[in-house]
Amino acid sequence: MNPPATTQDAPEQTRLDENICVHIFTASAAMVGVCLTVVGIIRVVISQHKSDLFADDLLAVNAMLYLISSLLSYWALRTRNVTRNYRLERTADIIFLVALTLTAVSAAYITWAMSVH
């Protein structure tokens, strides 16, 4: 994803960037809610088993990454500066992918921790 090179490509590239930003924004916002819900469920499970898991801390960090990604993509949607829009969208995309990877790691850790206990 490179910034538009010519003015002829600019409207199409901007439209694609806005589509990506909208998807990152909506998915990140939804994943914040998912992470918070799972943290609540994990806390209930922890209180039932009288053991502590690292999973709730991991998911709290994950929720913050999704929140940052969501805020950056919202900022990218609101800015009129094409260069700033590109940088914000790229940063939001990278943070979203890191958070998505951390979601998979969290799920694997929760599954492993539940089977051990």
Tell me, yes or no, whether 1 lies in a domain. Answer: no
Instruction: Domain count for the chain, please give it.
Output: 1
Tell me, yes or no, whether 71 lies in a domain. Answer: yes
Tell me, yes or no, whether 2 lies in a domain. Answer: no
Tell me, yes or no, whether 3 lies in a domain. Answer: no
pTM across the whole model: 0.71
Q: Which residue has the tokens 């999704």?
A: 66
**pLDDT for res 12:** 59
Tell me, yes or no, whether 4 lies in a domain. Answer: no
Range of the domain at 78: 10-116
**pLDDT for res 11:** 60
Note whether 71 and 50 are within 8 A (CB). no
Radius of gyration of the chain (CA): 18
In residues, how long is the chain?
Answer: 117
Tell me, yes or no, whether 34 lies in a domain. Answer: yes
pLDDT, tens digit, 9 for 90 and up, residues 55-108: 788 888 999 999 999 999 989 888 888 888 889 989 999 999 999 999 899 888
Query: What torsion, rounded to 10 degrees, do the Cα atoms 88, 91, 95, 97 define?
Result: 110
Tell me, yes or no, whether 5 lies in a domain. Answer: no
